[in-house]
Structure 1
Amino acid sequence: MTVPPTPARSGPAARADAEAEWDVAGHYALGSTLSVLQRGAHDPCARVGDSLAWLCFGTEAGPASLRLSAVPRPAAAPGCPSTTVRIQGWGPGARLAVASAPALLGERDDWSGFDESGFAETLPRMASEARRAHPGVRLPSTGRVFDSLVPAILEQKVTTIEARHAWRYLARKFGTPAPGPAPEGMRIPPGPHALRRIGSWDWHAARVDLSRRTTILRAAESAAGIDRLGALRLEEDPGRRLQGIPGIGPWTTAEVLQRTHGDPDSVSVGDYHLAAYVGYALTGRKTDDAGMLDLLRPWSGHRQRVVRMIGLSGFRKPAFGPRLAPEDHRGR
């Protein structure tokens, strides 16, 4: 049951601007569910732990800081776990942020088809074992397409180190302080207007090349339309519309929809590591995108769930050669 968000009561024990609770029947893992929303250990806009998370973002009503804490409840019967997630919001956008929190936490995500015995028996062993070890994982649906799009563009064709640096630099310098008692240093990410005002030197300092910068600025010009895609169902193909913006292709779209719509089937085709990772995990050999899609075809409809379970299994592919060196765009 979801309790509608209400203005917080006055007094020392209730300082939030809005709050609610979400009761979850069955297993629930807050940290594993929300970890995909955090861009590295030092993300200024998200801090996700096993049972406590802070997310800071803008809403139509203004900025909001969201505190999410998961508390297991006593089991009503043996083998029947349940969890209550306390949702607290601060800032002008607190009520909207709190109202959207259950979907963000994975309320709409349905694993029943994946867990059905006939389907589960077809899964690779590492995926089925990971699912047994992580029964509380869900796919989040933030609904905030532009917010997910900018960091995904920053991750295009660069190392993770480079992308994380760019996101931290832009969020810290051009974001705004998070409202309420958010941890020190947390920021509201820069919105489309702030991004359009960033000068060329700061793009260089963030080590963002001209191609990614141009794509972000194109997206900023269409931000209102992009955010309306968050209200579309997956069957309405929001990804096709997103790819109408030059510079946004299948990889970026998949990375966005995994977070904004909890897409259980999207696969990040074009990823530098993913195809080889899946290939080694399922066959012991490296493969390409076409080979990865062929390997995942038996689980169509749940391919992203399979990829998530392989990741949670702890599998690591063999490492060959040195890491890519970060590029420095500041002198260009």
Structure 2
Amino acid sequence: MTADAAGAAPAAPASGPDGELRWRPGRPVPVATTLTALRRGSGDPTFRRDPDGTVWRATRTPHGPVLLRVRARPADGEVEAQAWGPGSDWALDGVPDLLGAADDTHADFVPRPEHTALVQAWRAHRHWRVIRTRAVFEALSASALEQVVTTVEAFAGWRRLVQRFGEPAPGPAGLTLSPTPQQWLRIPSWEWLQAGVELRRRKVTILAAPRAGGLERTLAMAPEAADAALRSLPGIGVWTSAEVRQRAHGHADAFSFGDLHVPGNVSWALTGEVLDDAGCAELIECYRGHRFRVQKLLQLAGHQRPRRGPRATLPTHTPNRALGSARRPGHRAHG
């Protein structure tokens, strides 16, 4: 790995990173757009995006914690990455996959001409790729908090639990690592409640934590086998499995069936008609192998069906002081 002091971020400490990587992907890489899928709300303590598009990410690896900094250098045709912490080599080796190099079905995708919105989205975001973090339990613990509730409540719960039970990430960004499986297991029940997480959702993480090693082994499985393995765990259904595989495994077909809004938004963008899960599944069957790609491209293009009725309100069955003034209607809920 090569050092380049001239390319270092102003925020970097005098001691410098523990490792650096220059990657020439042979294509433009929209780093910030690609990695925003890993941010759990604007206040996510594990993620930071700078105004220039640089992304900072605190994560755990098989070799220890790491802070990863990634930015594009389009004038040089490169992506630059720096890392701090014992997991630096592992994280830097995975930067190409993190930015979509493992998305080997991308070239096979062809939107149908009658799906005008998708054709336009494909043209506008042609360089976006499906990410692959290789961090399965991390993705699961975050996705479990988003089951059935609104993003406002889910992100507030994530922020509170990470800040209270995670630990400072290495490096200069001031980010926080999400808890280890053992740390999740040690969170007292009242702390889950104060974060707005009732028993149903917290059990998903609690029951998955002792199996974290086995979860990581799903990375080597075919998509259908990985889906089945994830869904064999209590509380993990179609939606949660898809959310995990979209991030950790890089599965381009992991469509978010069961979401309160995604099937309706996708079907509306493609046909002008809002369909349920079954109707949307039939509509996008022609894109099998790329159904998450279709979902994400339309999302990046901003396609959202018109809202004509009352919008989902936040649940009130658990205390959640972390929400404060953010407790209000009008935010989407996950199914």
Which of 90, 93, 97 is equivalent to 2:87?
Answer: 93
1:121–1:210 distance in 2 versus 1, CA, 3 Å: closer
User: What TM-score does the superposition give when structure 2 sets the normalisation length?
Assistant: 0.87
Equivalent residues in 2 for 1:126-205 (5 A)? 126-182=117-173, 184=174, 186-205=175-194
Task: Using the TM superposition, name which of 199-208 and 306-315 deviates more.
Answer: 306-315
- Paired with 2:222 and 2:19, the residues of 1 have a C-alpha distance of 27
SS at match of 2:24: strand
**Number of aligned positions between the proteins:** 312
Aligned match of 2:305: 317
- 1:205 corresponds to which letter in structure 2? Q
Q: Does 1:276 align with 2:264?
A: yes
Judge conservation of contact 1:51–1:71 (CA < 8 Å) in 2: no
Q: Does 1:58 align with 2:53?
A: no
1:7–1:72 distance in 2 versus 1, CA, 3 Å: closer
> Shift in Å at residue 220 of structure 1?
0.7
RMSD between aligned residues: 2.2
- 2:165 corresponds to which letter in structure 1? F
Unaligned 5+ segments in structure 1 are 75-82
User: What TM-score does the superposition give when structure 1 sets the normalisation length?
Assistant: 0.88
> Shift in Å at residue 275 of structure 1?
1.5
> Shift in Å at residue 324 of structure 1?
2.3
- Paired with 1:70 and 1:314, the residues of 2 have a C-alpha distance of 23
1:223-258 alpha-carbon deviations (Å, 9 max, x no partner): 1111222233436x2111111101101110011111
- Paired with 2:3 and 2:197, the residues of 1 have a C-alpha distance of 41
Judge conservation of contact 2:253–2:293 (CA < 8 Å) in 1: yes
Equivalent residues in 2 for 1:1-332 (5 A)? 5=1, 15-48=16-49, 51-73=53-75, 83-110=77-104, 111-114=106-109, 119-122=110-113, 124-182=115-173, 184=174, 186-234=175-223, 237-330=225-318
Judge conservation of contact 1:29–1:137 (CA < 8 Å) in 2: yes
**Which gives a bigger RCO, structure 1 or 2 (Cα 8 Å, sep 6+)?**
2
SS at match of 1:218: helix
Task: Using the TM superposition, name which of 29-38 and 313-322 deviates more.
Answer: 313-322
1:249–1:12 distance in 2 versus 1, CA, 3 Å: closer
Percent identity, please. 40
SS at match of 1:73: helix
1:329–1:175 distance in 2 versus 1, CA, 3 Å: farther
Judge conservation of contact 1:275–1:288 (CA < 8 Å) in 2: yes
SS at match of 2:142: helix
Judge conservation of contact 2:194–2:319 (CA < 8 Å) in 1: no
1:103–1:233 distance in 2 versus 1, CA, 3 Å: farther
Judge conservation of contact 2:118–2:270 (CA < 8 Å) in 1: no
1:265-285 alpha-carbon deviations (Å, 9 max, x no partner): 111111011121122212222
